Amino acid sequence: MVNGATGLKNLRTATVLVEFAAFAAGADESISLPAAIPNLRCLLTAIASSHLSLNSLTLVLAGFSILLILWSATKPANFALAILVACLSATTGS
């Protein structure tokens, strides 16, 4: 039997999946899913945008992304880690 917390977590997961499927199918143009996914670009922009130029910020982002991917390659195969690294290292534009 599913307890309340697990059921709620499953409901939230299902809701996110349905919203993503609707976005992927083009059903709702108002959802900007890629912009809503936090990644390294968001973090670096928030921390260093006032201290670095756009070109420098892009180079730092590329370096961190490469380091993150290399670090994850040293870990045992794990689907959740692969998704996390893909989301963090992906860039969705400026």
- Domain ranges, residue 7: 1-31
The share of the chain scoring above pLDDT 90, in percent, equals 15
pLDDT for 89 beyond 80 = yes
* 90 and 44 within one domain: yes
Tell me the pLDDT tens digit for each residue of 24-46.
555 555 555 555 667 888 888 88
* 92 and 70 within one domain: yes
Does 87 or 64 have the greater pLDDT score?
Answer: 64
How far the first Cα of the chain sits from its last, in Å, is 46
Q: For residue 81, what are the CA distances in angstroms to 8, 37, 87?
A: 23, 16, 10
Rounded to whole angstroms, the Cα distance separating 72 from 26 reads 32
Q: By the 8 A CB rule, do 22 and 28 touch?
A: yes
Q: Which of 32-36, 81-85, 86-90 has the lowest mean pLDDT?
A: 32-36
* 86 and 42 within one domain: yes
What is the number of domains present in the chain?
A: 2
Does 64 or 90 have the greater pLDDT score?
Answer: 64
